[in-house]
């Protein structure tokens, strides 16, 4: 019932009305009309003229848009959200279809009623204009300075920049005469920083950038047309939203698979032979061997989950040590099968029969937390787990329990499921609030590197080359259907 809601409070909850006086809000509140929507009921249809704004007071509203005949989810608006503020000023067609998720309660304000109040209350009109002006001013303050010269170089914005990215991207841009104007932003992409890409044809993002629907909407609003991921993974990109907003997404499918595979083996050997502890001891003139006993890699069974290019190179390295290889992949490699030195088995068999397990699978809903309490329980006592793939492949709490019990003999990790707050930065002057991360770092049989497996001269150089050439192909006319490195939305 409408009586259970304070209409003035409903208006004040939204950012565009929160600074107005009670008198002004009371005048608007008299125009609010209450309405219930059942699950699945449509509040607004894409493309249909609309002359009202909705204020959600209870429930959630899903916004979808048709792209190539498919319904794409843009976002889900929650309690306290105002949908369609600008429809108070015009009757333009709705950008998207708004559908109730469960029971939804809203107040709506019609454009005619709003216009009448503005005429009757000149001070309210001034207050509303002032509020909009403040928002525009906040937007303009964080826009980068633009070069208004006649130079027509395509502008590209690279987020989460570091000195090594600047060096390599500038080198490739100059060496290959690509002609881009590259603007480097230290901050990661997020809804708060997306406006920094104003005027850019493309943004170049990394593994921990927030390419959520909220960020993508702003990117599209400021004219960005493409997202070039400078990595192979794209799990932090809302692909449905990218299609809905007309943003092409590309990736670097292979930069230096050797770098990642070699790093995985480095972690394995360092764990097995206790190299970190041994090095620290000798630096302190402690030359004992107690606690440093390892095992021969020769003859051991290594299980590989994911046999793409990186997984295949890791297998080649293991074969050089004389290991027996068992592997699982949803799409087995024909080359590995024909070579005859790798046995494809089920995922369960890999987990149960391996002395070392190395993860090279993509992060998908079906692979999320593939290493968990249940799967660890099936593994060999003392198993070594290596992860240079995606942090979300491992349930960290389950891994900690396995390490604590001794069932897991060691873990070599280059990724961590909650790494985004810490990796590629220096939070050493602050107390780490992530208890799981703190616990992991206390285990002597855990080696954690900060997502550096890709970090070789060859790897970083190839990432820069492919990322910029992905943008070049787009500028030259490559589309969702024709770009060789496009990320498809299933």
CA distance readout (Å), 302 to 307, 355, 357, 384? 13, 6, 6, 10
Alpha carbons 404 and 393: distance in angstroms, whole number: 19
Alpha carbons 101 and 121: distance in angstroms, whole number: 36
Of 50, 41, 43, the closest CA to residue 94 belongs to 50
pLDDT at 135: 59
pLDDT at 123: 73
Q: For this structure, is 91 an active site residue?
A: no
Alpha carbons 264 and 314: distance in angstroms, whole number: 8
CB 357, CB 350: distance < 8 Å? yes
Question: Which CATH number does 258-448 carry?
Answer: 3.40.50.720
User: pTM higher than 0.85 for the full model?
Assistant: no
Residues of the chain with CATH 3.40.50.720: 155-255+459-475, 258-448
Provide the pairing of β-strand 343-344 with 248-250.
Answer: unpaired
Q: For this structure, is 458 an active site residue?
A: no
Q: How many CB atoms lie within 10 A of CB 397?
A: 15
pLDDT at 2: 59
pLDDT at 404: 98
Catalytic residue chosen out of the listed positions 113, 419, 462, 465: 419
Catalytic residue chosen out of the listed positions 390, 417, 462, 465: 390
Q: For this structure, is 390 an active site residue?
A: yes
Q: Which two tokens stand for residue 94?
A: 């709705």
- Domain at 155-255+459-475: CATH architecture: 3-Layer(aba) Sandwich (3.40)
Alpha carbons 59 and 86: distance in angstroms, whole number: 22
Catalytic residue chosen out of the listed positions 217, 243, 451, 465: 451
Residues 6+ apart with CB under 8 A from 55: 10, 11, 13, 14, 32, 81, 82, 83, 106, 107, 108, 109
pLDDT at 74: 80
pLDDT by residue, tens only, the chain of 490 residues: 556 678 888 887 776 777 777 877 888 888 899 999 999 999 999 889 888 989 999 999 998 888 777 787 888 888 888 888 778 877 788 888 999 999 999 998 988 888 888 888 777 777 777 666 665 555 554 444 444 444 578 999 999 999 999 999 999 999 999 999 999 999 999 999 999 999 999 999 999 999 999 999 999 999 999 999 999 889 899 999 999 999 999 999 888 899 999 999 999 999 999 999 999 999 999 999 999 999 999 999 999 999 999 999 999 999 999 999 999 999 999 999 999 999 999 999 999 999 999 999 999 999 999 999 999 999 999 999 999 999 999 999 999 999 999 999 999 999 999 998 889 888 888 888 999 999 999 999 999 999 999 999 999 999 999 999 999 999 999 999 999 999 998 7
Angle among Cα 177, 182, 187 to the nearest 5 degrees reads 150
At the topology level, CATH places domain 2-141 in Jelly Rolls (2.60.120)
């Amino acid at each position: 019932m409408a009586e259970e809601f304070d209409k003035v409070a409903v208006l004040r909850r939204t950012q565009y009305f929160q600074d107005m006086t009670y008198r002004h809000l009371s005048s608007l509140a008299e125009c609010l009309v209450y309405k219930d929507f059942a699950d699945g009921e449509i509040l607004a249809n894409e493309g249909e003229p609309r002359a009202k704004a909705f204020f959600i007071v209870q429930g959630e509203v899903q916004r979808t848009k048709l792209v190539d005949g498919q319904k794409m989810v843009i976002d889900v608006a929650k309690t306290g959200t105002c949908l369609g503020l600008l429809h108070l000023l015009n009757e333009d067609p709705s950008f998207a279809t708004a559908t109730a998720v469960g029971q939804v309660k809203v107040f709506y304000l019609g454009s005619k009623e709003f216009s009448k109040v503005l005429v009757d209350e000149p001070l309210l009109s001034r207050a509303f204009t002032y509020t909009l002006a403040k928002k525009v001013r906040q937007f303009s303050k964080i826009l980068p300075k633009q070069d208004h010269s006649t130079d027509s170089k395509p502008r590209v914005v690279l987020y989460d920049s570091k000195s090594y990215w600047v060096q390599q991207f500038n080198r490739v841009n100059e060496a290959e005469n690509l002609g881009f104007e590259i603007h480097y932003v230290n901050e990661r992409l997020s809804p708060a920083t997306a406006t920094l890409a104003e005027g850019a044809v493309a943004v170049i993002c990394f593994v921990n950038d927030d390419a959520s629907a909220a960020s993508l909407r702003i990117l599209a609003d400021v004219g960005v047309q493409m997202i070039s991921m400078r990595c192979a993974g794209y799990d932090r990109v809302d692909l449905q939203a990218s299609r809905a907003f007309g943003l092409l997404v590309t990736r670097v499918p292979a930069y230096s698979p050797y770098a990642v595979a070699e790093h995985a083996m480095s972690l394995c050997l360092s764990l097995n032979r206790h190299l970190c502890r041994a090095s620290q001891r000798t630096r302190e003139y402690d030359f004992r061997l107690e606690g440093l006993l390892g095992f021969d890699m020769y003859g051991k069974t290594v299980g590989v989950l994911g046999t793409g290019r990186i997984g295949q190179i890791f297998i080649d390295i293991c074969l050089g040590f004389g290991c027996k290889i068992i592997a699982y992949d949803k799409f087995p490699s024909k080359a590995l099968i024909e070579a005859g030195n790798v046995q494809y088995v089920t995922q369960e068999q890999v987990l149960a029969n391996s002395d070392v397990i190395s993860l090279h699978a993509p992060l998908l809903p079906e692979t999320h937390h593939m290493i968990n309490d249940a799967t660890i329980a099936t593994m060999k006592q003392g198993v070594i787990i290596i992860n240079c793939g995606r942090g979300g492949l491992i349930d960290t709490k389950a891994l900690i329990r396995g390490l604590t019990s001794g069932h897991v003999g060691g873990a070599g990790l280059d990724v961590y499921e909650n790494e985004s707050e810490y990796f590629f930065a220096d939070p050493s002057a602050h107390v780490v609030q992530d208890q799981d991360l703190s616990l992991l770092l206390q285990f002597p049989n855990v080696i954690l590197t900060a997502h550096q497996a890709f970090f070789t001269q060859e790897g970083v150089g190839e990432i820069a080359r492919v990322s910029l050439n992905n943008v070049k192909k787009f500028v030259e006319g490559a589309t969702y259907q024709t770009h060789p490195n496009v990320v498809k939305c299933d």
